[in-house]
């Protein structure tokens, strides 16, 4: 019984030694070398083993390495060492397999993932790899190589198509780059032209300013060289203003003389009409005998200005020439109305203008001889209070009389 306990407590037997590449059958060497080692690495191993440069092509190097792996030699030991170094992690993972079933499961997982070089070497060199599993792994790798070849051919075809498309795109890109370069050159030339034009305009502007400053300086020098030039210019302006005023006064005097002549004619006509209306000497006596008292002379009832059927007893004249105020008064009083006058703010207080307009039945505004403030006051007051207003542009007496007759 103690022997049984001692046997159970004893450690498990060490697993069998992993197989070396020369321990494998020859049928495994070709796929193992072809898949497990890239050609560049294999060439370095062979060159190091033979001690010189390898002149053979890739196929001859592969065939020679496969042939040498059948036995233990310098080249096969180098291949063994490189496989162990390259796939150390995978080998460590495969150590967990305790039988052929576990090892096969690891291999199938590697095939499903597509990573087979490392698992292929770790599986073949595993001590639990059976002959059946070894043959199955070789068959699987053979089919994977066929599929990889087909995929490689498809990739090559796609690569050729992409290279053709890339070539067309490169040609199109070169053409577009050429157009872009030409366009940039044109824009650069235009920018240079614009910059040159701007510089030229700036130079012209500087030249113009310089010329203007020179002319101003010359003008100042000329003014300084002529004594009394400022006084002469001032006197010339005053003379021009005086001449213009004399011309206006002459025109006003001519208009006044014409108005006076017209008034004299109208006065003569009025006197003639009054003489025609005078009663005969027999008429007062007859009137006295009929009524027993003195007769009332015709025309003794006060007259009033009638505008469109409305009577105006008080007429306010705003503005006008000071010399024509007497003529305005004569025209208004001859028409039988009371005459009121406001000079429009020249001397009279403007604040009294509204009270004067309120007391009048009719307002006559002389627009040519009135201040702007008085004009707007008259227009606003008459509009607000529905006051009748006549606007006269010409401040002559004749024009006023003509407007009165036209409005009657």
Q: What is the pLDDT of residues 276-320, one digit of tens each?
A: 765 544 444 333 333 333 333 334 344 456 654 557 789 999 988
Is residue 224, in this structure, part of any structural domain at all?
no
Of 129, 160, 182, which residue constitutes the final position of a domain? 129
Is residue 385, in this structure, part of any structural domain at all?
yes
- Euclidean distance between the first and the last CA atom of the chain, given in angstroms as a whole number: 163
CA distance 2 to 198: 115
Is residue 159, in this structure, part of any structural domain at all?
no
**pLDDT in the model for residue 347:** 65
CA distance 322 to 395: 10
Q: What percent of the chain has pLDDT over 70?
A: 84
Q: How many domains would you assign to the chain?
A: 2
- Identify the bridge partners of residue 364 per DSSP, sorted by sequence position: 317, 390
pTM of the model as a whole? 0.36
Radius of gyration of the chain from its Cα atoms, rounded to whole angstroms: 67
Which conformational region is residue 348 in: left (phi greater than 0), alpha (psi within -120 to 50 degrees), or beta?
A: beta
Is residue 88, in this structure, part of any structural domain at all?
yes
Q: Which domain holds residue 61?
A: 15-129
**Could you tell me the sign of the dihedral formed by the alpha carbons of 87, 92, 95, 100, in that order?**
negative
Of 129, 148, 174, which residue constitutes the final position of a domain? 129
Of 129, 151, 180, which residue constitutes the final position of a domain? 129
Is residue 359, in this structure, part of any structural domain at all?
yes
Is residue 190, in this structure, part of any structural domain at all?
no
What angle, rounded to 10 degrees, do the helices at 325-334 and 397-407 form?
30
Residue 334: CATH number of its domain:
3.40.50.2300
Taking only the tens of pLDDT, the chain with its 408 residues reads 334 334 333 334 435 789 999 999 988 989 988 888 898 898 898 888 888 777 788 898 889 889 889 899 999 899 999 999 999 999 999 998 899 899 999 999 988 888 889 898 988 889 989 889 889 989 988 888 887 666 566 667 678 788 888 989 999 999 999 999 999 999 999 999 999 999 999 999 999 998 999 898 888 888 788 877 778 888 888 888 888 888 888 888 888 888 778 887 877 777 777 777 655 444 443 333 333 333 333 343 444 566 545 577 899 999 888 888 999 899 888 888 899 998 877 666 767 888 888 889 899 998 888 888 888 889 999 999 998 898 998 888 898 888 877 776
């Amino acid at each position: 019984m103690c022997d049984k306990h001692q046997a159970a407590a004893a450690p498990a037997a060490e697993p069998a030694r992993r197989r070396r590449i020369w321990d494998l059958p020859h049928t495994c060497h070709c796929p193992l070398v072809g898949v497990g080692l890239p050609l560049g690495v294999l060439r370095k191993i062979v060159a190091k083993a033979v001690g010189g440069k390898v002149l053979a092509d890739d196929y001859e190097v592969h065939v020679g390495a496969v042939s040498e792996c059948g036995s233990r030699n310098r080249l096969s030991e180098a291949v063994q060492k490189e496989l162990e170094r390259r796939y150390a992690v995978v080998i460590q993972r495969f150590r967990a397999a305790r039988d052929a079933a576990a090892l096969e499961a690891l291999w199938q997982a590697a095939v499903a993932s597509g990573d087979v070089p490392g698992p292929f070497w770790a599986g073949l060199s595993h001590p639990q790899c059976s002959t059946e599993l070894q043959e199955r792994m070789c068959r699987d790798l053979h089919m994977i190589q066929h599929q990889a070849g087909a995929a490689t051919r498809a990739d090559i075809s796609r690569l050729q198509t992409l290279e053709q498309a890339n070539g067309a795109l490169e040609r199109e890109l070169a053409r577009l780059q050429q157009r872009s370069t030409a366009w940039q050159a044109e824009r650069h030339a235009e920018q240079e032209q614009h910059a040159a034009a701007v510089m030229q305009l700036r130079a012209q502007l500087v030249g113009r300013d310089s010329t203007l400053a020179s002319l101003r300086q010359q003008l100042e020098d000329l003014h300084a060289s002529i004594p009394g030039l400022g006084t002469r210019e001032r006197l010339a302006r005053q003379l021009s203003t005086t001449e213009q005023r004399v011309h206006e006064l002459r025109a006003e005097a001519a208009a006044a003389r014409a108005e006076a002549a017209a008034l004299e004619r109208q006065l003569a006509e009025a006197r003639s009409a009054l003489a025609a209306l005078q009663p005969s000497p027999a008429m007062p006596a007859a009137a006295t005998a009929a009524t027993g008292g003195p007769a009332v002379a015709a025309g003794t009832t006060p007259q009033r200005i009638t505008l469109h059927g409305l009577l105006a007893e008080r007429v306010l004249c705003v503005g006008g020439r000071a010399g024509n105020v007497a003529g305005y008064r004569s025209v208004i009083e001859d028409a039988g109305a009371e005459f009121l006058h406001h000079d429009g703010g020249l001397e009279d207080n403007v604040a009294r203008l509204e009270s004067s307009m309120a007391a009048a039945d009719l307002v006559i505004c002389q627009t040519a001889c009135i201040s702007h403030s008085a004009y707007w006051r008259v227009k606003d007051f008459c509009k607000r209070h529905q006051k009748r207003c006549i606007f006269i542009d010409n401040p002559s007496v004749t024009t006023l009389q003509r407007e009165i007759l036209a409005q009657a």
